[in-house]
Structure 1
Amino acid sequence: LAPGLAVPIAGADVDQRAPSPAAPDDVAYIIYTSGSTGLPKGCLVSHRNAVRLLVNDRMPFAFGPSEVFVCAHSFAFDFSIWEIWCALAHGASVVIADGATARDPAALLALVRARRVTVLNQTPAAFYGLIDAERAAATHDLAAHLHTVIFGGDRLEPAYLRAWTALYPLAQIAAVNMYGITETTVHVTFHRLDEADLASGRSAIGRPIPETQVLLLDAAGAQVPLGVPGEMWVGGSGVCAGYLNRPDLTAERFVVREGRRYYRSGDIGRLGADGVLTYIGRNDKQVQVRGHRVELGAIEHWLLGHPAVEKAVVTAGEDALTAYVVSAAALTAGALQAHLARHLPMYAVPSRFVRLDALPLTANGKIDRAALAVADAPALPA
């Protein structure tokens, strides 16, 4: 399959296909991603892209044939590409979790224990559920075999990991944050979390893996200075061929700059003086509220600073912000507003707070923001 070539797959007689060796730039697989728009787009990922991932992800890890990975994600989500093929590339074992097990934190932990899994990949939102399940477990013996938890697919809030590291210090089970995008073949950066990350609350994503470049650019396409937020443009041999049958969108998102091809991610990051990239959020999560530009991720960050708030998501409606919180304590909207007002301008303080037992997740383990809008839960009292 040549990049950009549409072929009718449904109903095709695969036995009639003429055998031919695959070339490095032929498409290895197509995975559909909706991104932030909700409109599915088929990413054309080549053999070269995929091999780059498997070869260069070896660099920061010391995986070998004794490892046991668990594939706990849908084959339609590119996390599964790394879970399966990274393991096989190292001669390691892969345990396939069925859909029901993958969606049940207690059941997934039982599988991890029973099969003595050593490497676990999770989206942050799904892992927060695993933390709750592990806190309720009778024993805390995972460190006997599990040595690495790898995060990706969404923003990681280090504050959420404090309950986990109270059970398993980072010296026992490493926590690694790997920012990545389907269009750039799963992984872009690598960062092993330390105690400073947990204390600072920054969502550090680290440094690019080999054969990958990340530029931070402003709206005019100029590189931003250290410490200044900018859109992340990702280049290197992981950048895929584009979108299936979408030449207009491919031309918009995959661009050439100074002779190199980049994917415009729409994600906002900041480079620190220490050379570590921090993920801030999506540029489409910056919303206008009452004439002011508001970053929803910043509000969520400060909400998590309240000692009674376990999880938080903020959404924007017409001229109003709503905060959804998970908490075991008796909270009032006034108390949370007062807390936020100490850190944020009043226009960035939500006017409505809703308490949930748990945040809804998509099939891929990310927070389901669409489901929040129809959540049948009363607002917190003033």
Structure 2
Amino acid sequence: MKSNDSHRPLSTDETISQRFCEKASSYSQKVAVDLDEQSLTYSELLVYTQQLAVVLIDTHGVKEGDIVCQCVERSLSMVIGIMAIEMVGAVYCPLSPQDPLHRLHTLVEQTNSRLVLVHTFTRETFDGHHATLDIDQVLNMNSGVSDSDWDCLSHIAVNYESIAYILFTSGSTGTPKAAQFRHRNFIEWTRSFVEMGIFNDSDTVVQSARCSFDIHLEEILGPLIVGGTVVLLNPKGVMDLAYFIDVLVHKQITYFICVPSFLTALCIYLDTRVGDRCLDGVRSLCCGGEPFPTKLIQRLNKHLSSTMESRGRCRVWNNYGPAETTIACIIHRIDMSCEDSRTAIGTVIPGYRCMIVDEFSQPVTVGEVGELLVGGVGVFAGYLGRKDLTDKALVDIDGQLFYRTGDLVRLERDDLLYYVGRKDHQIKLRGQRLEPGEIERCVLEASSLITSCVVVKWGDDHLVAYVQSDDINEKELRKHCESHLPSYMVPSLFIVLKQLPLNAN
């Protein structure tokens, strides 16, 4: 068993909202959130958050523990919405505006959410199907917060053990699973990253991840509860590398996180811009969700100032962590002078512990491959309404809960963990965990003429669906999948066969 102070006392019994309010008091005139030509200081963000929170309580009857969904493009309103949901003691559930309508409605129904927060660009998405509240309309009312309203907000009955947010992960049965996280999960995880010096109150963090990824919480809530600044990209900003580079330079970004494939694309683009030193101001650069390729070290070295690394100003980290363990639980600082053929996932961060076990749940020795179990401050609270799945995912060992990751790893003599593969059929694609079963079920529901389907990963970035049918074409299949699945789960290629190959059995 590897442990990193997993029995440390909790740093606080506060909630995310309480932490934010403290920082709003300490850093009142500091810019909290920025988007292109728009920005809000901590005091301004607090006022708008309180204004929306009062409407949630007084007009819509939102109370502690209610699940409130939010379907909002990347904007100042998105941040205000998240903070208001937390302020009233409700549970934040992000919905990606890029997802198909069918999926969005399914997810809302699965949560039994009483309300969906929308804004100008998404207000028609749930028209007539679910109760909605337009954040932009509320903020344009310019209504103040009375003393009685403030007193109500000050006595919200939630604590650090209360559920703060839920995130959907892919389900092997075809139905997404809603993972629940407590306030203490996120606050203690943030504490660990701050203790390691990965980010702090001086950092300016770029927010680029879609809200369907847990990373968006690191990019938004992380800085706001430590006193940093969040810089939002416009909704299509991550696809525009020239715009992204301009943000890095002119907003003086010091911290960002991305998948290795995006960082590779960024380096290739920078190769065409001789003399462009957009990464020189970055203090911490985190990668996760995919294996970190050795060639990326070579590419990245060309764009990192040689003097910065020697002074310890720019550090590159390889992050590992299933969503159920809160953002990242294992991390490795990459030696940019070493071009080893393998990159370790690293060691557990403070507050966590891990075990590597064999098929009989017995610990393995150094050098042996086994399944990784993760325990500690970030282990989630279970799947919403799915005790059966929760019981399979969590195991009690000596009075402490561990999450069964399903990942196969090896602890080597350098005391570092190395990723080997999966013990099941789950796959990782562009940083997102996918269950092929969820995609296969969607394909099978496209037509009664489909009798079988198998989805496999092809290369690093593509999915291929092999479909058994006498009368179906790729166009029909793609249209159906695009209307039911998020874009990253739609197969790149559909191969229709009259008969799938069978083995001797």
2 CA distance for matches of 1:104 and 1:40?
Answer: 30
Which segments of 5 or more consecutive residues in structure 1 lack a partner in the other structure? 288-316, 327-365, 376-382
Q: Distance in 2 between matches of 1:3 and 1:228?
A: 45
Give the Cα–Cα distance (whole angstroms) in 2 for the partners of residues 141 and 81 of structure 1.
Answer: 28
Query: Could you tell me how far 1:212 is from its partner in structure 2?
Result: 0.5
Task: Provide the rounded CA distance (Å) in 2 between the counterparts of 1:43 and 1:59.
Answer: 26
Within 2, Cα distance between the matches of 1:178 and 1:324? 18
8 Å CA contact 2:194, 2:200 repeated in 1? no
The residue that corresponds to 1:356 in the other structure is: none
Relative distance call for 1:207 and 1:373 in structure 2 (3 A) is same
Change (3 A) 1:202 1:247: same
Asked whether the equivalents of residues 268 and 279 of structure 1 are also in contact (C-alpha less than 8 Å), the reply is yes
Partner of 1:8: 113
Q: CA deviation at 1:194?
A: 0.4
Superposition deviation, residue 199 in structure 1: 2.0
C-alpha distance after superposition, 1:326-359 (max 9, x if no partner): 9xxxxxxxxxxxxxxxxxxxxxxxxxxxxxxxxx
Within a 5 Å distance, the mapping from 1:174-189 to structure 2 comes to 174-189=315-330
Which residue of 2 is the match for residue 173 of structure 1? 314
**1:200-219 mapped onto 2 (5 Å cutoff):** 200-219=340-359
Matches within 5 A, 1:20-59: 20-34=156-170, 39-59=175-195
Structure-2 change in CA distance of 1:35 and 1:195 (3 Å): farther
In structure 2, do the counterparts of structure 1 residues 200 and 35 end up closer, same or farther at CA, with 3 Å as the change threshold?
A: farther
Aligned to 2:446: none
Q: 1:118 aligns with which of 249, 254, 257?
A: 254
How far the C-alpha of 1:95 sits from its partner, in A, is 0.2
Q: Paired residue for 1:277, among 417, 426, 435?
A: 417
Secondary structure at the residue paired with 2:345?
A: strand
Residue 76 of structure 1, CA deviation: 2.6
Question: Match for 1:371: what amino acid?
Answer: P
- Mapped to 1, the partners of 2:379 and 2:244 lie a distance apart of 32
Distance 2:208 2:368 in 1: 36
> Which residue number corresponds to residue 245 of structure 2?
109
Number of residues of Structure 1 aligned to a counterpart in Structure 2? 307
Aligned 8 A contact 1:54 1:85 in 2: no
CA contact (8 A) 1:3 1:44 kept: no
Aligned to 2:363, which of 223, 236, 240?
A: 223
C-alpha deviation, 1:201, in angstroms: 2.3
1:190 counterpart = 2:331: yes
CA 92–282 in structure 1, closer or farther in 2 if over 3 Å, else same: same
Cα deviation 1:226-276 (Å, max 9, x = unaligned): 111211111012101111111111111112122211110111211111211
Query: Equivalent of 2:206, from 53, 70, 91?
Result: 70
CA distance in 1, matches of 2:332, 2:422: 20
% identical aligned pairs: 27
Partners of 1:151 and 1:223 lie apart in 2 by: 29
Partner of 1:371: 491
What is the alpha-carbon distance in structure 1 between the residues aligned to residue 362 and residue 318 of structure 2? Answer: 27
Write the letter of the residue equivalent to 1:79.
Answer: I
Do 1:254 and 1:262's aligned partners in 2 also have CA atoms closer than 8 Å? yes
Can you list the C-alpha shifts for 1:150-204, whole angstroms capped at 9, x where unaligned?
A: 01223222333311113325546321011112111111012110046x5222231
Q: Which has the larger radius of gyration?
A: 2
Does the CA-based 8 Å contact 1:63-1:90 persist in structure 2? no
Q: Secondary structure at the match of 1:144?
A: coil
Q: In structure 2, how many angstroms separate the alpha carbons of the residues matched to 1:324 and 1:278?
A: 19
Judging changes above 3 Å, is the alpha-carbon distance between structure 1 residues 27 and 369 closer, same or farther for their aligned structure 2 residues?
Answer: closer
> What's the offset of the Cα at 1:3?
11
Higher relative contact order (CA 8 A, sep 6+): 2
Question: 8 Å contact 1:121–1:149 — kept in the other structure?
Answer: yes
For the residues of structure 2 that align with 1:128 and 1:161, how far apart are their CA atoms?
9
Range moving further from structure 2, 89-98 or 62-71: 62-71
- Cα separation, 2, equivalents of 1:140 and 1:272: 39
The 10-residue stretch of structure 1 (244-253 or 149-158) with the greater mean CA deviation from structure 2: 149-158
Equivalent-residue separation in structure 2 for 1:13 and 1:39 (angstroms): 24
Give the unaligned 5+ runs of structure 2.
1-63, 68-90, 92-110, 116-129, 134-148, 428-452, 463-485, 496-505
Alpha carbons of structure 1 residues 216 and 62: separation in structure 2 relative to 1, 3 Å: closer
3-state SS in 2 of match to 1:99 = coil
How high is the TM-score relative to the length of structure 2? Answer: 0.54
C-alpha distance in structure 2 between counterparts of 1:127 and 1:212, whole Å: 28
Partner of 2:283: 147
- State the shift of 1:7 in Å: 4.8
Shift of 1:59: 1.6
The equivalent of 1:237 in structure 2 is 377
Greater shift after overlay, 215-224 or 165-174? 165-174
**Structure 1 residues 69, 26: closer, same or farther in 2, change over 3 A?**
same
Contact 2:329–2:349 under 8 Å retained in 1: yes
Q: C-alpha displacement at 1:105, in angstroms?
A: 2.8
**Secondary structure, aligned partner of 1:252:** helix
Q: Deviations over 1:76-103 (max 9, x none)?
A: 3110111122222332111011221122
TM-score, L = length of structure 1: 0.70
Shift of 1:64: 3.8
2:395 equivalent among 255, 261, 264: 255
